[in-house]
Structure 1
Amino acid sequence: MTSTNRIPRLLMLLVLAAAITACGDKSDAAHAESDTHAEDAGHDEHGHEEGGHEEGEGEAGHEEGAAATTIPAAIAETSGIRVAAVAPGSIADEHEVQGLLTPVEGHVAQVMARFPGPIRALRANIGDRVRAGQPLASIESNLSLTTYTVASPISGVILQRSASVGAVAGEGMPLFEVADLSTLWVDLHIFGNDAGHITAGIPVTVTRMSDGVGAETTLERILPGTATASQSTVARATIGNIDGLWRPGSAVRARIVVDRADAAQVVPLTALQTDEGGRDVVYVREGERYEERVVTLGRRDAKSVEITAGLKPGEQVVVAQSFLVKADIGKSAATHEH
């Protein structure tokens, strides 16, 4: 290669080396700038995270909100969830007692043989309903050797039958016991100091123990004597027995309402539940949101309870299926914890 050709080639090599050096400087500068931005971004992210953490700490410092859940109106309707407004009411001073059903005096009749002689026929059994004047037995008189009929003196139900066909009836012998059970006495046994302020004329609710059916009535009188076996005072009321399901001799429960006191805020007992800490709570509905509310209770009776703190008049409180709301709030809390 001649010296003339070497000079251009040398120049080309020098230009190429300068270009590579320049590119390297730019690349380093770009990397440095990129690193600087990345570091700055890192600081920004770190600063943002620190700021978010401080905000979270501020939220945690507040009191935790009341337990609540959301139940769509259609589901609440289908589930039987019902609400009622907190309102003034009255709380009854009640006494729960027990007693017995007995036939009303004068409503029981003994059907007896008028003349002695063999019993030829019996036309009624225990439990049969009979009307006044209905024939119940035929007896052949030993005196006249003719058959005479014995009829029911009242309308009612056969409680007892003490005769049998072929047996000889004596004069005045009881054959049947018939009772008019359309009304019954309720003899309630009252003990101790309760007898001092329970008087005639106050209302009473009598409940059958067999099926829980109740009847409203009024105490008619306080008997002057004392029940020998129990040493209790007997308060007597009368109840209707059109369906015949109130049976003489049956034990019953009764609530005697001595007095009533006004209360500013009253809710049904069905509204009450207890939270995990054993506190009394109710559930207040606002739209489709149901909030658990701790309440303070006052006086109560068989149906209602006075609320002395925790609610405002007019608030809508769940009074039916409140346990479903409690379960839904518990489920929501468990899901939130997980």
Structure 2
Amino acid sequence: MKLSLFTALVATALMISGCGNRDDNQSSSAEHGAIAAKIEKGPHNGRLLRDGNLAVELAIFEDGIPPEYRAWLYRDGQLLPPSAGQLQVVLQRLGKVTDTHAFTAQDDFLRGNAEVYEPHSFDVEVTAQIDGKTLHWQFDSYEGRTTIAAAIATQSGIRVLPASPGIIRDEHEVQGLLTLVEGRYARVMARFPGPIRAVSVAVGDTVKAGQPLATVESNVSLSNYVVSSPLSGTVLARNANIGELAGDQPLFEIADLSTLWVDLHVFGSDATHIAAGAAVVVTRLSDDLNIATRIDRVLPSTATASQSTVARATLHNDDGHWRPGTAVRALVTVAEDQVALAVPLAALQRFRDWDVVFVRDGDDYEIRPLQLGRRDGVNAEVLDGLKPGDPVVVEQSYLVKADIEKSGASHDH
């Protein structure tokens, strides 16, 4: 995506302000790294929590199974049997979501009873009972989370909308040309041959039905007669000049340009999907000006040279912005499906190996890994990972991603 100078400056301001905000509310990247380096690891590469001569090693295990907690108990550095104690882990996630994990003995460890679903980003409270003593630990483990002040988010154009149902469209892109509508175009001829005595219009002039266009002296009667416009429209061509002879060639070409046809050339299997009534958005190739209309009909014959089928739509051109002969592309919608939950494509980013969106809670933003279904040129269906009403960043989501990557927010297992 190309950034304007203003957007680039805003992005820079966001990064600077984001860092400043973290200085007030959480550790800087360097401090966070230093703290992470101080986390003591146990023999199973889990986080080692100590209290006197007792300790709990807590790890998220996800080798070939959905992520779950596993824990080992220690006294004086020696592994205890899992029956020697009890354990509970409470996770407080963004948005005041609380997950409680109880543990049961298995082999030489305690196993959590629930999946630790992504993202692994939460405040952790651990309660253990070992040798009749109750132990407590609290720590944070954030992943894919950052803090952006509301004023900075507004200035940067970060926009949030609640997750909601949407429409996924089956769309086909085709090419075409604007053409004149039959019955709204005329080649104006002289009724009798003879010299042209007067011409009253030029190419581009707007004329009314019955308006004089030229005066011709008849070779038969030697009297003048008026050549008038048979319809209201625009003069497209003039082949008449004073002193020239009017004969069997058209003097003028007049067309009503207030309505044009869009002839779309459909190839192959697309022709079996596109039918009358289908919605279509027509876009001019030269400048991306677009207009919405519907397919009127699919012509019964096939173009011999291109072997294409022509689907024809009507384009209303009262403002005169469209011209016959203009090349266009068109997006034809052949089906629309309502889905329970959808997000704009602009909201999606890649984080690790996931498709994610960012949800907001106050000034905090965090990833939500998604399972996606169908998508079109605007929206993607969400099968899992969001709930209706979740506040999703739908504009400038890449700025939130950049701030998360800059902060290096990650978790330890």
Question: Does residue 387 of structure 2 align to residue 312 of structure 1?
Answer: yes
What does the per-residue CA deviation read over 1:19-69, in whole Å, with 9 as the maximum and x for residues that have no partner?
A: xxxxxxxxxxxxxxxxxxxxxxxxxxxxxxxxx764895389666632222
Note the aligned Cα RMSD (angstroms): 2.3
Q: Residue in 2 aligned with 1:257? A: 333
Q: Give the distance between the partners of 2:39 and 2:291, measured in 1 at CA.
A: 66
Q: Residue in 2 aligned with 1:234? A: 310
Q: Residue in 1 aligned with 2:48? A: 58
Q: Give the distance between the partners of 2:258 and 2:209, measured in 1 at CA.
A: 14
Q: Give the distance between the partners of 2:178 and 2:387, measured in 1 at CA.
A: 45
SS at match of 1:58: strand
Q: Give the distance between the partners of 2:228 and 2:39, measured in 1 at CA.
A: 98
Q: Residue in 2 aligned with 1:225? A: 301
Q: Give the distance between the partners of 1:200 and 1:55, measured in 2 at CA.
A: 67
What does the per-residue CA deviation read over 1:92-117, in whole Å, with 9 as the maximum and x for residues that have no partner?
A: 11211111111111000111112212
Runs of 4+ in 1 over 3 A off after TM superposition: 52-64
Q: Give the distance between the partners of 1:331 and 1:76, measured in 2 at CA.
A: 16
The one of 246, 256, 260 aligned to 1:180: 256
Which has more strand, going by share of residues?
Answer: 2
Q: Give the distance between the partners of 2:298 and 2:323, measured in 1 at CA.
A: 22
Q: Give the distance between the partners of 1:327 and 1:134, measured in 2 at CA.
A: 65
SS at match of 1:126: coil
Tell me which amino acid in the other structure corresponds to 1:310: G
Q: Residue in 2 aligned with 1:4? A: none
Q: Give the distance between the partners of 1:320 and 1:181, measured in 2 at CA.
A: 39
The one of 234, 240, 244 aligned to 1:163: 240
Q: Give the distance between the partners of 2:305 and 2:221, measured in 1 at CA.
A: 49
Q: Residue in 2 aligned with 1:303? A: 378
Offset at residue 202 of structure 1 (A): 2.3
The one of 229, 234, 238 aligned to 1:152: 229
Q: Give the distance between the partners of 1:223 and 1:90, measured in 2 at CA.
A: 29
Count residues in correspondence: 281
SS at match of 2:160: strand
SS at match of 1:245: coil
Q: Give the distance between the partners of 1:54 and 1:269, measured in 2 at CA.
A: 41
Any gaps of 5 or more consecutive residues in structure 2?
1-37, 50-57, 61-119, 121-140
Tell me which amino acid in the other structure corresponds to 1:246: W
Q: Give the distance between the partners of 1:212 and 1:225, measured in 2 at CA.
A: 30
Q: Residue in 1 aligned with 2:192? A: 115
Tell me which amino acid in the other structure corresponds to 2:222: L
Offset at residue 135 of structure 1 (A): 1.7
Question: Does residue 322 of structure 2 align to residue 246 of structure 1?
Answer: yes
| Kept after mapping to 2: 8 A contact 1:66/1:293 | no
Q: Give the distance between the partners of 2:39 and 2:378, measured in 1 at CA.
A: 51
| Kept after mapping to 2: 8 A contact 1:268/1:305 | yes
Any gaps of 5 or more consecutive residues in structure 1?
1-51
Offset at residue 305 of structure 1 (A): 0.7
Q: Residue in 1 aligned with 2:209? A: 132
Which has more helix, going by share of residues?
Answer: 1
Question: Does residue 309 of structure 2 align to residue 195 of structure 1?
Answer: no
SS at match of 2:204: coil
Alpha-carbon distance change, 76 to 54 in structure 1, aligned in 2, over 3 angstroms: closer
Offset at residue 260 of structure 1 (A): 1.9
Question: Does residue 219 of structure 2 align to residue 142 of structure 1?
Answer: yes
Alpha-carbon distance change, 58 to 243 in structure 1, aligned in 2, over 3 angstroms: farther
**Structure 2 length as normaliser, TM-score?**
0.63
**Structure 1 length as normaliser, TM-score?**
0.76
SS at match of 1:77: helix
Tell me which amino acid in the other structure corresponds to 1:206: V
Tell me which amino acid in the other structure corresponds to 1:83: V
Question: Does residue 67 of structure 2 align to residue 77 of structure 1?
Answer: no
What does the per-residue CA deviation read over 1:163-190, in whole Å, with 9 as the maximum and x for residues that have no partner?
A: 23321111x4311100001111111111
Q: Residue in 2 aligned with 1:11? A: none
Q: Give the distance between the partners of 1:215 and 1:226, measured in 2 at CA.
A: 26
Higher RCO structure, 1 or 2 (CA under 8 Å, sep 6+): 1
| Kept after mapping to 2: 8 A contact 1:297/1:309 | yes
